[in-house]
Amino acid sequence: MKNRRTILGVLGGAAIAALSTAFTAAPALAQDVTLKLHQFLPSQANVPKLVLDVWADKVEADSNGRIKVERYPSMQLGGKPPELMGQVQDGVADIVWTVVGYTPGRFPSTEVFELPFMMTNARAVSRAYWQMFEKHMKDTEFRDVHILGTWVHGPGMIHTNRPVNTPADMEGLKIRGGSRSVNSLLTKLGATPVGMPVPAVSEGLSKGVIDGTTIPWEVTAALKVPELVKNHTEFSGAALYTLTFVLAMNKDKYESMPADLQAVIDKNSGEEFSVFAGGTQADADGPARAKAVALGNNIITLDAAATEEWRALSQPIYDEWVADMDKRGIDGQALIDEAKMLIDKYTE
């Protein structure tokens, strides 16, 4: 009898130990994850409000609260906007939204979409961008991060303290440019390009550090640009330029998540999210433009013939970009041809 009790005791102890192990292991399959999302604009600006918050809210809901996305606008985790990609690689932030051009030349293939008069429709270009990212950039230029979305903003244009109707009107102006291609174009037009992140534009205009800026309509309201300059120059057909964005996640953080929570991230990321983000950003152009109209600002819309004069002057930038890509071992002309083909395919 004693031996029987001893055996049962041993078996009971083993069962308890097994149950204990099972319960201890369970949280590893259902652990909660907190993600710090860092970006450079105020929380009330269009992209944080209409794109990033929507994405974060859906991720939280689809994970049944097991993923929490903490949002840090206006560089609240420290640093400057050009440091965002480094922050997500180093784990200072788990996710960042950033302008790719804040690190000029580091992700060169993305610049194909930033070439002058390449952009026609933000949804079409954002879709083309994602497809070319997966084909050309995912395992090369962006191999150190996990990209969640790639998109562009609506038509880029010029906002200045004096009217700009022709390329000659740019002579001598100090203009904030957002990318290498934009800065190259400004130089060819006789303007002086000034590099600064978007959040610095308001102060730059108010203090006279710059005479104008190149940005899309949608962000002008948050930066109070229509109150600081009274002239806005739009183009017909393809836009003067656009900028490329990425929503990037720390690779180790993503890979450390349980498979079911990775699936939640995946479901809310990728091509359709990219199209949503680019389209949503472009859709915000109209309301922002209306505010400038209400202020009585001078809105100059160049017709097709006037736009063509600007387009012709931009051709050398294409040639220079292709030559630069060739030096990097990248077929720049092939990227241009593929981008144009995809943009034409998806432009409504």
**In angstroms, how far is CA 324 from the centroid of its own chain?**
23
pLDDT for the residue numbered 295: 97
**Span of 12-16, 124-128, 247-251, 261-265 with lowest mean pLDDT:** 12-16
Predicted pLDDT at 178: 78
| pLDDT number for residue 179 | 85
- pLDDT, one tens digit per residue, over 109-120 is 999 999 999 999
Is the confidence at residue 155, as pLDDT, over 80? Answer: yes
- pLDDT for 11 equals 45
pLDDT value of residue 197: 87
Query: What is the per-residue pLDDT for 348?
Result: 72
What's the confidence (pLDDT) of residue 171? Answer: 96
What is the residue-averaged pLDDT of the chain?
Answer: 92
What per-residue confidence (pLDDT) applies to 154?
97
Report, as an integer, the average pLDDT of 155-178.
Answer: 96
Tell me the mean pLDDT in the region 160-188.
94
pLDDT at 218: 95
Q: Which pLDDT belongs to residue 31? A: 57
Q: Provide the pLDDT for residue 15.
A: 46
Whether the predicted pLDDT of 279 surpasses 60: yes
